[in-house]
Amino acid sequence: MWKKLEDYLRMIDRGEINEAENQLLENIDYFDEDNVATAALFYQYLSEKTECFLTEHDFSKEEVLDGMNRLIQKAGYGDVLNIVEGISAI
């Protein structure tokens, strides 16, 4: 069952990060723009948490970045990511 963004964010705040991410990824439709936007905002919100908070709840900044990268690839935006990475390498 797909939840509202606010539900996922509350789970993050309660420290239920892995559970929230698992539910998000189990139910996402990568062809639904609203689902992809919700997932992107989920990872953005998660990226704003401190490393201490994430570590305390068995997560890391690297996992946040990995999740966002997987989202971008599976949603079909990999070419955009490659362009951005190419520009940042210059």
CA-wise closest residue to 68 among 38, 32, 23:
38
Q: What letter represents residue 73's amino acid?
A: Q
* Cβ count within 10 A of residue 11: 19
Domain chopping of the chain, boundaries: 5-88
Instruction: Say what the pTM is.
Output: 0.84
User: Could you report the per-residue pLDDT of 28-86, keeping only the tens digit for each?
Assistant: 999 999 999 999 999 999 999 999 999 999 999 999 999 999 999 999 887 665 555 55
| Residue 45, C-beta contacts closer than 8 angstroms, at least 6 positions apart | 9, 12
Are 72 and 81 contacting, i.e. CB atoms less than 8 angstroms apart? Answer: yes
